[in-house]
Amino acid sequence: MKLLLVEDELEIQDFLKPSLADAGYEVDVANDGQAAEKLASAHVYDALIVDLGLPDQDGIDLILRLRKIGVASPVLILSARRSVDDRVAGLELGGDDYLTKPFALAELLARLRNLLKRNIAVSAGPTMLRVGDLELDLLRRRASRAGDLLNLSPQEFGLLEYLCRHAGRVVTRSMLLAEVWGMRIQPDTNVVDVHIYRLRGKVDSEGRVPLIKTLRGVGYVLETQEAATA
Protein backbone atom coordinates (compact mmCIF):
# COMPACT_ATOMS: atom_id res chain seq x y z
CA MET A 1 0.00 0.00 0.00
CA LYS A 2 1.44 3.32 -1.10
CA LEU A 3 0.48 6.64 0.49
CA LEU A 4 1.14 10.28 -0.31
CA LEU A 5 1.41 12.55 2.73
CA VAL A 6 0.96 16.25 1.87
CA GLU A 7 1.99 18.17 4.99
CA ASP A 8 4.27 21.15 5.45
CA GLU A 9 4.83 20.98 9.21
CA LEU A 10 7.97 19.06 10.00
CA GLU A 11 6.81 18.02 13.50
CA ILE A 12 3.79 16.27 12.05
CA GLN A 13 5.83 14.71 9.23
CA ASP A 14 8.38 13.47 11.74
CA PHE A 15 5.95 11.33 13.67
CA LEU A 16 3.47 10.47 10.91
CA LYS A 17 5.98 9.07 8.45
CA PRO A 18 7.56 6.46 10.79
CA SER A 19 4.14 5.59 12.29
CA LEU A 20 2.68 4.96 8.84
CA ALA A 21 5.78 2.98 7.88
CA ASP A 22 5.40 0.92 11.08
CA ALA A 23 1.80 0.21 10.10
CA GLY A 24 3.10 -1.27 6.84
CA TYR A 25 2.53 1.57 4.40
CA GLU A 26 5.02 2.95 1.91
CA VAL A 27 4.95 6.74 2.31
CA ASP A 28 5.96 9.62 0.00
CA VAL A 29 5.99 13.09 1.50
CA ALA A 30 5.22 16.37 -0.27
CA ASN A 31 5.91 19.68 1.46
CA ASP A 32 3.56 21.77 -0.62
CA GLY A 33 0.83 21.63 -3.24
CA GLN A 34 3.16 21.83 -6.24
CA ALA A 35 5.29 18.90 -5.11
CA ALA A 36 2.13 16.94 -4.32
CA GLU A 37 0.74 17.54 -7.80
CA LYS A 38 4.00 16.40 -9.38
CA LEU A 39 4.17 13.23 -7.29
CA ALA A 40 0.50 12.37 -7.71
CA SER A 41 0.67 12.60 -11.48
CA ALA A 42 3.85 10.49 -11.64
CA HIS A 43 2.83 7.67 -9.26
CA VAL A 44 -0.31 5.82 -8.31
CA TYR A 45 -1.21 6.05 -4.61
CA ASP A 46 -3.77 3.98 -2.70
CA ALA A 47 -4.66 6.94 -0.52
CA LEU A 48 -3.67 10.57 0.09
CA ILE A 49 -3.32 12.34 3.43
CA VAL A 50 -3.68 16.09 2.81
CA ASP A 51 -3.28 18.92 5.28
CA LEU A 52 -5.58 21.86 4.48
CA GLY A 53 -3.14 24.58 5.54
CA LEU A 54 -0.43 24.30 2.89
CA PRO A 55 2.07 27.12 2.37
CA ASP A 56 1.35 27.67 -1.32
CA GLN A 57 -2.36 26.91 -1.62
CA ASP A 58 -5.51 25.72 0.07
CA GLY A 59 -5.67 21.96 0.51
CA ILE A 60 -9.21 21.77 -0.86
CA ASP A 61 -8.13 23.44 -4.11
CA LEU A 62 -5.29 20.93 -4.37
CA ILE A 63 -7.68 18.01 -3.94
CA LEU A 64 -10.10 19.42 -6.51
CA ARG A 65 -7.27 19.89 -9.00
CA LEU A 66 -5.93 16.37 -8.38
CA ARG A 67 -9.42 15.02 -9.03
CA LYS A 68 -9.51 16.98 -12.28
CA ILE A 69 -6.29 15.41 -13.53
CA GLY A 70 -7.66 11.97 -12.77
CA VAL A 71 -6.32 11.10 -9.30
CA ALA A 72 -9.19 9.03 -7.89
CA SER A 73 -7.58 7.69 -4.69
CA PRO A 74 -9.46 8.40 -1.44
CA VAL A 75 -8.23 11.37 0.57
CA LEU A 76 -7.93 11.76 4.33
CA ILE A 77 -8.09 15.48 5.09
CA LEU A 78 -6.23 16.91 8.08
CA SER A 79 -7.23 20.30 9.39
CA ALA A 80 -6.64 22.57 12.32
CA ARG A 81 -9.98 24.27 11.74
CA ARG A 82 -12.59 23.29 14.27
CA SER A 83 -15.72 23.54 12.27
CA VAL A 84 -16.13 21.47 9.16
CA ASP A 85 -16.66 23.98 6.42
CA ASP A 86 -19.16 23.35 3.68
CA ARG A 87 -16.63 22.55 0.99
CA VAL A 88 -15.07 19.82 3.13
CA ALA A 89 -18.52 18.49 3.94
CA GLY A 90 -19.08 18.18 0.19
CA LEU A 91 -15.86 16.19 -0.21
CA GLU A 92 -16.83 13.85 2.62
CA LEU A 93 -19.81 12.76 0.57
CA GLY A 94 -17.47 11.84 -2.24
CA GLY A 95 -15.94 9.10 -0.13
CA ASP A 96 -13.16 11.05 1.56
CA ASP A 97 -12.69 11.51 5.28
CA TYR A 98 -11.88 14.40 7.59
CA LEU A 99 -9.82 14.56 10.78
CA THR A 100 -9.23 17.57 13.03
CA LYS A 101 -5.94 18.30 14.74
CA PRO A 102 -5.02 17.27 17.36
CA PHE A 103 -5.87 13.68 16.49
CA ALA A 104 -4.98 10.35 18.02
CA LEU A 105 -2.59 8.35 15.89
CA ALA A 106 -4.79 5.30 16.42
CA GLU A 107 -7.74 7.17 14.99
CA LEU A 108 -5.77 8.27 11.95
CA LEU A 109 -4.72 4.68 11.29
CA ALA A 110 -8.27 3.45 11.83
CA ARG A 111 -9.74 5.98 9.44
CA LEU A 112 -7.08 5.25 6.90
CA ARG A 113 -7.97 1.56 7.08
CA ASN A 114 -11.63 2.51 6.63
CA LEU A 115 -10.80 4.51 3.52
CA LEU A 116 -8.80 1.69 1.99
CA LYS A 117 -11.38 -0.94 2.87
CA ARG A 118 -14.42 1.07 1.95
CA ASN A 119 -15.52 -1.17 -0.89
CA ILE A 120 -15.47 -4.47 1.00
CA ALA A 121 -19.13 -5.44 1.59
CA VAL A 122 -20.29 -7.36 4.62
CA SER A 123 -23.98 -7.55 3.83
CA ALA A 124 -25.61 -10.76 2.77
CA GLY A 125 -28.66 -9.88 0.70
CA PRO A 126 -30.65 -6.66 0.80
CA THR A 127 -32.55 -7.32 4.02
CA MET A 128 -29.99 -9.37 5.95
CA LEU A 129 -26.66 -8.43 7.48
CA ARG A 130 -24.27 -11.19 8.52
CA VAL A 131 -21.01 -10.85 10.43
CA GLY A 132 -19.67 -14.24 11.44
CA ASP A 133 -22.44 -15.97 13.39
CA LEU A 134 -24.22 -12.68 14.01
CA GLU A 135 -27.31 -12.17 11.84
CA LEU A 136 -29.46 -9.09 11.51
CA ASP A 137 -32.89 -9.21 9.88
CA LEU A 138 -33.40 -5.61 8.77
CA LEU A 139 -37.08 -6.08 7.84
CA ARG A 140 -38.24 -7.61 11.11
CA ARG A 141 -35.66 -5.64 13.12
CA ARG A 142 -34.39 -8.82 14.79
CA ALA A 143 -30.86 -9.98 15.58
CA SER A 144 -29.61 -13.42 16.42
CA ARG A 145 -26.26 -14.92 17.25
CA ALA A 146 -25.51 -18.53 16.36
CA GLY A 147 -29.25 -19.03 15.91
CA ASP A 148 -30.20 -17.62 19.36
CA LEU A 149 -32.51 -14.59 19.15
CA LEU A 150 -31.05 -11.53 20.90
CA ASN A 151 -33.47 -9.44 22.95
CA LEU A 152 -32.55 -5.93 21.76
CA SER A 153 -34.34 -2.60 22.18
CA PRO A 154 -34.94 -0.66 18.93
CA GLN A 155 -32.07 1.63 19.86
CA GLU A 156 -29.69 -1.26 20.51
CA PHE A 157 -30.69 -2.78 17.20
CA GLY A 158 -29.85 0.50 15.43
CA LEU A 159 -26.48 0.61 17.16
CA LEU A 160 -25.67 -2.99 16.25
CA GLU A 161 -26.78 -2.39 12.67
CA TYR A 162 -24.38 0.52 12.34
CA LEU A 163 -21.53 -1.53 13.84
CA CYS A 164 -22.29 -4.40 11.45
CA ARG A 165 -22.38 -2.15 8.41
CA HIS A 166 -18.93 -0.94 9.43
CA ALA A 167 -17.71 -4.35 10.58
CA GLY A 168 -13.93 -4.56 10.80
CA ARG A 169 -13.60 -0.77 10.81
CA VAL A 170 -13.23 1.58 13.72
CA VAL A 171 -16.20 3.72 14.62
CA THR A 172 -15.73 6.63 17.00
CA ARG A 173 -18.20 7.85 19.64
CA SER A 174 -18.96 10.96 17.63
CA MET A 175 -19.64 8.81 14.54
CA LEU A 176 -22.12 6.74 16.57
CA LEU A 177 -23.81 9.85 18.02
CA ALA A 178 -24.08 11.41 14.59
CA GLU A 179 -25.24 8.34 12.68
CA VAL A 180 -27.37 6.43 15.20
CA TRP A 181 -28.83 9.31 17.21
CA GLY A 182 -28.46 12.03 14.60
CA MET A 183 -26.79 14.60 16.85
CA ARG A 184 -23.41 16.30 16.78
CA ILE A 185 -22.61 16.51 20.48
CA GLN A 186 -19.57 15.73 22.61
CA PRO A 187 -20.92 14.70 25.98
CA ASP A 188 -18.34 14.79 28.73
CA THR A 189 -19.97 11.75 30.30
CA ASN A 190 -19.85 8.16 29.05
CA VAL A 191 -23.36 7.99 27.61
CA VAL A 192 -22.31 6.17 24.45
CA ASP A 193 -20.11 3.74 26.35
CA VAL A 194 -23.04 2.69 28.53
CA HIS A 195 -25.07 1.88 25.44
CA ILE A 196 -22.17 -0.20 24.08
CA TYR A 197 -21.68 -2.03 27.42
CA ARG A 198 -25.34 -2.97 27.43
CA LEU A 199 -25.25 -4.08 23.81
CA ARG A 200 -22.09 -6.04 24.47
CA GLY A 201 -23.78 -7.72 27.43
CA LYS A 202 -26.38 -9.10 25.03
CA VAL A 203 -24.28 -9.81 21.94
CA ASP A 204 -21.14 -11.10 23.62
CA SER A 205 -22.83 -12.98 26.41
CA GLU A 206 -20.85 -15.48 28.43
CA GLY A 207 -19.24 -18.32 26.48
CA ARG A 208 -19.25 -16.50 23.17
CA VAL A 209 -16.29 -15.05 21.32
CA PRO A 210 -16.41 -11.28 22.03
CA LEU A 211 -17.14 -9.31 18.83
CA ILE A 212 -17.39 -5.71 20.06
CA LYS A 213 -13.91 -4.44 20.90
CA THR A 214 -12.98 -1.14 22.55
CA LEU A 215 -10.05 0.85 21.13
CA ARG A 216 -8.78 3.06 23.89
CA GLY A 217 -9.10 6.76 23.14
CA VAL A 218 -10.63 6.09 19.72
CA GLY A 219 -13.86 4.12 19.70
CA TYR A 220 -15.17 0.67 18.93
CA VAL A 221 -14.83 -1.99 16.30
CA LEU A 222 -17.04 -4.97 15.51
CA GLU A 223 -14.51 -7.66 14.59
CA THR A 224 -15.34 -10.32 12.08
CA GLN A 225 -15.24 -13.66 13.86
CA GLU A 226 -12.02 -14.83 12.18
CA ALA A 227 -10.20 -11.74 13.33
CA ALA A 228 -11.74 -11.97 16.79
CA THR A 229 -10.58 -15.50 17.37
CA ALA A 230 -7.15 -14.87 15.91
For the chain, state the CA radius of gyration.
19
x/- string (CB under 8 A) for another protein, residues 102-121? x-x-----------------
> Per CB under 8 A, which of residues 136..165 are in contact with another protein?
155
78 in Cβ contact with 101 (< 8 Å): yes
Q: How far is the CB of 197 from another protein (least distance, A)?
A: 8
Residues with Cβ within 8 Å of 25's Cβ and at least 6 positions away in sequence, in order, are 1, 2, 3, 112
Give the phi and the psi of residue 209 in degrees, each rounded to 5. Answer: -70, 125
Interaction between residue 210 and another protein (CB under 8 A): no
Closest CB to another protein among residues 102, 207: 102
Tell me the C-alpha to C-alpha distance, in Å, between residue 65 and each of 25, 69, 110, 182.
Answer: 25, 6, 27, 33
Residue 37 CB: number of other CB atoms within 10 A? 18
Find the shortest distance in angstroms from Cβ 99 to another protein. Answer: 13
Nearer to another protein, 1 or 215 (CB): 215
Q: In this chain, which of 70, 151, 189, 206 binds another protein, going by CB under 8 A?
A: 189
Residues that bind another protein (CB under 8 A): 82, 102, 104, 155, 177, 181-191, 194-195, 198, 216-217
